[in-house]
Every structure is written in structure tokens, then in C-alpha cells.
């Protein structure tokens, strides 16, 4: 033992040792022999020490106790690993990057990031992963299993991490904070996307045009402008949308919900963007100006449509006849002459119409809403055209 000589050598591998008893125990790795049997269950072990540790699972004995918390363990090795949580010690270091770990098996898993090794393979598809835990989560995409349940609502999910993020909806917790501004969010992924608003980085690039953006989800939505894909479909009518946010706004046309309310008048809307535009009727702001004439308007889309009066462009074409027009809304209305469809229904009476705008105007008959006010007298009305006609009484 002092000379360092190891005369006992394994004939199956490169293992060598100083004592014959050690070699005897080692050879059981190759033979599979487990002579030490548990009297409580069918477990067997290669060594008496391993059997002694196993028997503590029956007796409940945990002789290694932490002085910092109430943790206790069966083995000294598990106890040693636990103590690193208190000391912060991470002795297992990656030689490829700056990562270090408290446990050797965590380093082993981490090294697969560098090697690209993914030993855990799905038997249903060609998915593979570097940890068994990730494979187990993936398998739930095939089985549909969602074992993690929210205690506050009906939400269920396949991953514990997803449940943790979801719970922040109820708690309002936003632990990830921007160092550049007062923005905070629920997930590190959201923070990463937000930081690009400061750096100007737009790594997601469209291969059809020169569009670029800060997140893969935004690029996915943008790509629908090329494919015309509209995955969000309404169960009440034949409307479909490219984005979830637009779909939510559309659903409010059926429910009548208008959560966005004007502080200046009794106007309310089913979309925040509509409220923003409405506020310009109070401020008089018309930031979008035509460089061909004196026309100005409250939205860039209206200016774009207006410019077609100068160019004569009519990009919207009917596939049933030769009709063309400058506005998509005009084409939608025109197509109803072929189908006769009137998708917008009044929840108060039997009125139906082809346009959402007409339904909104009609609903004011029931609500009594008159959002248009004369600045010369106390006159109010439900439609902008009525106000325009009324103002002529003041001008003579």
C-alpha cells in the first residue's frame, strides 16, 4: 500500500488493486453475482456494505443529519452532495465552458450539450434528447398525458416547469426584471425577447422578404402574410384569423364584450387599438398626411387606402367576377353579393348584416349610445355622417 503497487489485476478490464478481496468484489461487476440478499424483499447486492445501505430503506434509518436544515440521508455520499447546497460548492467543472456543478452526474448530462450526444430516443418518432427527463416529457406529446394540474383553475400541462410559469398568472409574480428599464415578466424567454428592444437585435429573418423581428413567434405570425394561413377559426361564423390576439378581438363581436373604455365619453371597444384611434377624435390628432393633397388621417392604413385615389390602384380582385377595388373591406362586402351571407347578428333583435361596422351602428339603437358630439351646441348622434350633416346648420 505504501509502494503504490497493485498486484491484483482483473482479466476482463484494466482494473487493478492492492487486495485480493477487492478484486473478488470487482469481478462481480462482470459476472453479475450478487451474493448478499435482503431478508425483507427480493433485493440483492454485490457487497455487504451495499446491502447495509439498502436495509436502511426498510428501517427508515438516516444517520447522516444536516446541521443547517432538517435534511437527513441514508448515505454519506448523498449527505455530502446535500451540504453543497448550503456551501455553494460546485467541484465538478466543465472543461469546455464556465459551467460547474455540485454533482458529477449533472456534469455528465451537461457535457452532452458539447458532444451533441442524445442517447434517449423516442420509439414513436425521431425525437431524441440528452436526458431521460426530457424524453419522458416528450412522450406525453404522444400519450396526451398532462399530470400537472393548477389548484386555482382548470389548467393542466405535461411539464412541471410550465405549471410554475402558469401559476404566475394567479400570483402576478414577474421575477425576471430588465436592467435597462422597469419592465418585468414571468419567464426568462420573455425577458430575452424584451432585451432585444434595447439592443435592436432582430435575429429572426423572413426568407420571403426583408422583414426581421425579435422573436420566432412574431416571425411565425408574419409568415402567414405570405402563406395566407389563418389557423384560428371561429365556431360562430366562418371568420378565421392569423393571430390569437385578432381572434380574441373577433370573438368579442359575438359576446358583445367591450373592455376598452374611453375616459372622455361613453365609447367602448373590443380592441385596445380601436380605443387608441378613437382618442384621436377627442385630440383631433391626424398624424398621417398625404404628400399629394391636404388629406390627413388618424391611421397609416387609411392613408395607404387614400393614396390609391391618386394612383388608381385596385389590388383586391373578386375571384367570381371582374370586380376590383382599392379596399379589402369593399371586396369582403362585394363577395356577399355572390354568397348572400350575413355573418353579423344582433344579440337584441333579428337584425343581421354583412359588415361589422353596420352591426356596431345598429347596436347604438339598443344602447342609446351617441358618441359624436357637436362642438358648437349640445347635439349628439350615433353616426359621424349625422354629425357632418348637422354641422352644416351652423355654417349656413
Domain spans in the chain, listed from the N-terminal domain onward? 1-61, 239-395
Contact 22, 8 (CB under 8 A): yes
CA angle in degrees (0–180, nearest 5) for 110-115-121: 80
Cell of 316: 383586391
Rounded CA-CA distance 188/150 in Å is: 21
Burial of 209 (0-12, 13-18, 19+ CB in 10 A): exposed
Would you say the CATH fold of 239-395 matches that of 1-61? Answer: yes
pLDDT score of 201: 92
CATH fold of 1-61: Double Stranded RNA Binding Domain (3.30.160)
- Give the chain's radius of gyration (CA, Å): 35
Contact 339, 328 (CB under 8 A): no
CATH 3.20.20.140, applies to 239-395? no
Residue 41 backbone class (left: φ over 0; alpha: ψ -120 to 50; beta: rest): beta
- How far apart are the two ends of the chain, measured CA to CA in Å? 117
Helix (H, G, I), strand (E, B) or coil at 76: helix
pLDDT score of 228: 78
CA-nearest of 317, 313, 318, 287 to 302 is 287
Rounded CA-CA distance 272/248 in Å is: 12
* Residue positions counted in the chain: 396
Residue 276: CB partners within 8 Å, gap ≥ 6?
none
Helix (H, G, I), strand (E, B) or coil at 251: helix
Rounded CA-CA distance 302/308 in Å is: 10
Rounded CA-CA distance 105/250 in Å is: 51
pLDDT score of 2: 63
Q: Tens place of pLDDT for every residue, the chain, 396 residues?
A: 566 788 889 888 889 988 888 888 888 888 888 888 999 899 888 888 888 888 888 988 898 899 989 989 888 888 888 898 899 889 999 998 888 988 888 899 899 889 989 999 999 899 999 888 889 989 998 998 999 999 988 889 888 888 888 888 888 889 999 999 999 998 888 999 999 999 999 999 999 888 999 998 888 888 888 887 888 888 888 888 888 888 888 998 888 889 899 998 989 998 888 898 888 888 888 889 999 999 998 888 889 899 999 999 998 999 989 999 988 888 888 888 788 778 889 999 999 887 788 898 999 999 999 989 999 999 999 888 889 899 888 876
Amino acid at each position: 500500500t505504501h509502494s503504490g503497487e497493485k498486484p491484483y489485476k482483473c482479466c476482463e478490464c484494466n482494473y487493478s488493486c492492492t487486495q485480493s478481496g477487492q478484486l473478488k468484489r470487482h469481478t462481480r461487476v462482470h459476472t453479475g453475482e450478487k451474493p448478499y440478499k435482503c431478508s425483507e424483499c427480493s433485493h440483492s447486492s454485490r457487497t455487504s456494505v451495499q446491502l447495509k445501505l439498502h436495509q436502511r430503506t426498510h428501517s427508515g434509518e438516516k444517520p447522516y443529519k444536516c446541521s443547517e436544515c432538517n435534511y437527513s440521508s441514508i448515505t454519506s455520499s448523498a449527505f455530502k452532495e446535500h451540504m453543497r447546497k448550503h456551501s455553494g460548492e460546485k467541484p465538478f467543472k466543465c472543461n469546455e465552458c464556465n459551467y460547474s456543478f455540485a454533482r458529477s452526474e449533472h456534469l455528465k448530462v451537461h457535457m452532452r450539450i458539447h458532444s451533441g450526444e442524445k442517447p434517449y430516443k423516442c420509439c414513436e418518432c425521431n425525437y431524441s434528447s440528452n436526458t431521460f427527463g426530457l424524453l419522458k416529457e416528450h412522450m406525453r406529446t404522444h400519450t396526451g398525458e398532462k399530470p400537472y394540474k393548477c389548484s386555482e383553475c382548470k389548467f393542466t400541462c405535461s411539464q412541471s416547469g410550465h405549471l410554475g410559469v402558469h401559476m404566475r398568472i394567479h400570483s402576478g409574480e414577474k421575477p425576471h426584471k430588465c436592467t435597462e428599464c422597469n419592465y418585468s415578466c414571468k419567464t426568462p424567454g420573455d425577458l430575452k425577447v424584451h432585451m432585444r428592444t434595447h439592443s435592436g437585435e432582430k435575429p429572426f429573418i423572413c426568407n420571403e422578404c426583408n422583414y426581421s423581428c425579435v422573436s420566432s413567434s412574431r416571425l411565425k405570425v408574419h409568415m402567414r402574410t405570405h402563406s395566407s394561413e389563418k389557423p384560428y377559426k371561429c365556431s360562430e361564423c366562418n371568420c378565421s384569423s392569423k393571430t390569437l390576439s385578432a381572434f380574441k378581438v373577433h370573438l368579442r363581436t359575438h359576446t358583445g364584450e367591450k373592455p376598452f373604455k374611453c375616459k372622455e365619453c361613453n365609447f367602448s371597444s373590443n380592441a385596445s387599438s380601436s380605443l387608441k384611434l378613437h382618442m384621436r377624435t377627442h385630440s383631433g390628432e391626424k398624424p398621417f398626411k398625404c404628400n399629394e393633397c391636404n388629406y390627413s388621417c388618424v391611421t397609416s392604413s387609411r392613408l395607404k387606402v387614400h393614396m390609391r385615389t391618386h394612383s388608381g390602384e385596385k389590388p383586391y380582385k373578386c375571384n367570381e367576377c371582374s370586380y376590383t377595388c382599392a379596399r379589402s373591406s369593399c371586396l369582403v362586402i362585394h363577395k356577399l353579393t355572390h354568397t348572400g351571407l350575413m355573418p353579423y347578428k344582433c344579440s337584441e333583435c333579428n337584425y343581421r348584416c354583412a359588415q361589422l361596422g353596420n352591426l356596431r351602428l345598429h347596436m347604438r339603437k339598443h344602447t342609446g349610445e351617441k358618441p359624436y358630439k357637436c362642438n358648437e351646441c349640445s347635439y349628439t348622434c350615433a353616426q359621424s355622417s349625422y354629425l357632418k350633416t348637422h354641422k352644416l346648420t351652423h355654417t349656413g
